[in-house]
Structure 1
């Protein structure tokens, strides 16, 4: 009997040794899965070994923001795809440290979905060209530049909501995307390049905002319906190429867009607003009252109070609809402080792993910077421009949202700076006996109706299982999948309608705080 027990103990010890060795080997495999090199002075992931144990074990690949203590700011070396053998059908997530997706970074790969956190500013030439299995791309709104043929030949791509900051759709950008059915063009785009959407057999209609002043040769196939506004480049292109055109009228809210619809100024004081003019040319401002005087400098209009009363200002750009705002001049009004800053938070405390979203209000059209005095305790990142929400911006013209996350116990000061103005608040991070849950990945995502998406929650500080919920159960339903170590996997199923979205939340047992991790949307198509 003693001999049997001894043999059993030896066997268990051997199993523990093998298990420990396998765990160590797997961690090593993760490190070895990425080849990092210096490209134009930046650390870049230049190769992902997609035929090893680490890659095969994952349904989704989140490229780390740091590999061996090196911060990754670029994807690809500009010469070849990052995948050694094509990249079997995976969902790829890019971190917010990435600035540039290089030329050809994913070209000819078989990746299925790509999601980007806010951060990238440039997508290179042919970056995703001929990715025939690519069905969905969630763009970072921070992207301002896209290279030629960036998504050409992506035959399974069904919809494209282009980045809000993109100013030009380049030549052949989506050429031969035969299943592309829906395209949303942002208000900053001024040019659509040659053959940008030619060969998009499923694209039956497109709405082109009046800020687009140039449409290149053969940009669209001739069977498409172009929806646009009277006197714009869209109408001209349709008429010159014998393409059906649906005239949406001569008025469009983005043609002349003001940062506010009303303004209050003091007598002998001033306030400002900004104008978005799609013609990139001149605009004029007129007033129906002598209670104010008006001066212009670039896109900024300064309104000075002359005497008590009200005035209606009309802003007009040649060939486009005008916009107006109401000005109230009062002896009790407070003078504007330029790009002054207001935060909705004076202090905050939360646990390791928790996230919080502070809001900054300002009169600047440029997003303020947000920094942490101790990134080892609290990390920060830009989340979104919420200037279109009057309830959030209040008396200011702009509002910006940021995300902070507790990484370890301690304190840090969060500072948000806009021009010469800054504001800050202290943050205390603690360790809860209830533990904390980290979401992997923590990026917003989109999936088609009827499809599912797996979310992994890594728990630290306890062995408790988090409860996992969505904000709107009519958009997603949830399912617990399983546990591996301290990692819990949950599945969400898209049951709502295209365009609907909701947040994903966890709550640790015994903890009163419900934590928002990311947002999911049901994709069109």
Structure 2
């Protein structure tokens, strides 16, 4: 009971698996690389469940950890900063998805795979640096993140469906597809999966072999888009009506943000004259607000 941690021992190499924490944790929780003179190689799935982590903002996982498969960090709902040690080679599926306060993630230098939905829905995540060690990024790994630019290392071989540049918000008026961010930029290298992914998804690609990276980060929060704002100038006026009429006449094409903002009626499977009429009614004062009906 006087120990800082409860633990079990892996008898094959005498390393430790930490089960629970017996002290009051502060804003920064740093897991030790050794305890009682033995290497800490793993964490129990219950370690953050049984610990009061309500004050924790920063979690530092040491280089000694070799796997995150049993590590459940989601009980640390206040977590803002995550440092993953250099002993980790794979980020598990759904490892940190929908952690709404997570802002900064530092991946270890030896991560080769980022799992499916690993950081899905982390809307406040400021950026992610995908180093040269990473080879495989699974489906939806960063869907729903608000950062608009990413730099992907030169050794990436596979990027899964909607891993970057998408929001997990369904466009009913565009074949029930997720929203593609029209402002997204992928910085990477030609002849890699980064270039292939960008081209297949219509995302701007900067080849770092020939151009400097565009890393001045900007952000888009999907809930900040304004219903009825078709030209994306953050207001609703007659220009939006005109643009929507032009779309209905097949004179212009829309990006996904424009599709979302045009879904202002219950006729959500397509854009029709009803959408135009609804915005006109709003501008004329017949209705007080516009509501988006295409929901994810």
Structure 2 CA distance for partners of 1:102 and 1:39, relative to 1, 3 Å: farther
Structure 2 CA distance for partners of 1:46 and 1:212, relative to 1, 3 Å: farther
Query: Aligned partners of 2:16, 2:50: CA distance in 1, in Å?
Result: 19
Q: Describe the superposition over 1:472-515 as per-residue Cα deviations: whole angstroms up to 9, x where unpaired.
A: xxxxxxxxxxxxxxxxxxxxxxxxxxxxxxxxxxxxxxxxxxxx
In the alignment of these two chains, the number of paired residues is 195
Partner of 1:209: 189
Structure 2 CA distance for partners of 1:176 and 1:244, relative to 1, 3 Å: closer
1:185 Cα offset (Å): 0.8
Partner of 1:128: 96
Partner of 2:110: 142
- Check the 8 A contact 1:74/1:99 in 2, yes or no: yes
1:135 Cα offset (Å): 0.7
> Is the counterpart of residue 105 in structure 1 residue 72 in structure 2?
yes
Q: Describe the superposition over 1:232-252 as per-residue Cα deviations: whole angstroms up to 9, x where unpaired.
A: x246404xxxx354575xx93
Partner of 1:87: 53
- Check the 8 A contact 1:189/1:211 in 2, yes or no: no
Structure 2 CA distance for partners of 1:152 and 1:106, relative to 1, 3 Å: same
Q: Secondary structure at the match of 1:35?
A: strand
Q: Secondary structure at the match of 2:100?
A: coil
Query: Aligned partners of 1:191, 1:60: CA distance in 2, in Å?
Result: 34
Structure 2 CA distance for partners of 1:113 and 1:235, relative to 1, 3 Å: closer
Q: Describe the superposition over 1:86-129 as per-residue Cα deviations: whole angstroms up to 9, x where unpaired.
A: 73232111222111122552135322111234322222222222
Q: Secondary structure at the match of 1:36?
A: strand
> Is the counterpart of residue 45 in structure 1 residue 25 in structure 2?
no
Q: How does 1:14-93 map to 2 (within 5 A)?
A: 28=2, 31-32=3-4, 34-37=5-8, 43-48=16-21, 54-55=24-25, 58-77=26-45, 82-84=48-50, 87-88=53-54, 89-93=56-60
Q: Describe the superposition over 1:120-170 as per-residue Cα deviations: whole angstroms up to 9, x where unpaired.
A: 222222222222111101111111222222112222111001233110111
Q: Secondary structure at the match of 2:123?
A: coil
Structure 2 CA distance for partners of 1:62 and 1:186, relative to 1, 3 Å: same
Alignment match of 1:196 (pick from 163, 181, 185): 163
- Check the 8 A contact 1:108/1:132 in 2, yes or no: no
Q: Secondary structure at the match of 2:94?
A: coil
Structure 2 CA distance for partners of 1:76 and 1:133, relative to 1, 3 Å: farther
User: Relative contact order (C-alpha < 8 Å, sep 6+): which is higher?
Assistant: 2
Structure 2 CA distance for partners of 1:244 and 1:145, relative to 1, 3 Å: closer
Structure 2 CA distance for partners of 1:167 and 1:127, relative to 1, 3 Å: same
- Check the 8 A contact 1:169/1:192 in 2, yes or no: yes
Alignment match of 1:163 (pick from 101, 124, 131): 131
Partner of 1:182: 149
- TM-score w.r.t. the length of structure 2 is 0.55
1:253 Cα offset (Å): 6.6
Partner of 1:423: none
Q: How does 1:270-419 map to 2 (within 5 A)?
A: none
Partner of 1:460: none
Q: Describe the superposition over 1:258-280 as per-residue Cα deviations: whole angstroms up to 9, x where unpaired.
A: xxxxxxxxxxxxxxxxxxxxxxx
Structure 2 unaligned blocks of 5 or more: 169-179, 212-216, 218-296
More helix by share: 2
Query: Aligned partners of 2:144, 2:198: CA distance in 1, in Å?
Result: 24
Query: Aligned partners of 1:154, 1:65: CA distance in 2, in Å?
Result: 28
Root mean square deviation of aligned Cα: 3.4
Query: Aligned partners of 1:48, 1:211: CA distance in 2, in Å?
Result: 47
Structure 1 unaligned blocks of 5 or more: 1-24, 216-227, 255-447, 449-525
Report the structure number with the largest CA radius of gyration: 1
Q: Secondary structure at the match of 1:100?
A: coil
Partner of 2:200: 237
Structure 2 CA distance for partners of 1:131 and 1:253, relative to 1, 3 Å: same
Structure 2 CA distance for partners of 1:108 and 1:169, relative to 1, 3 Å: farther
- TM-score w.r.t. the length of structure 1 is 0.33
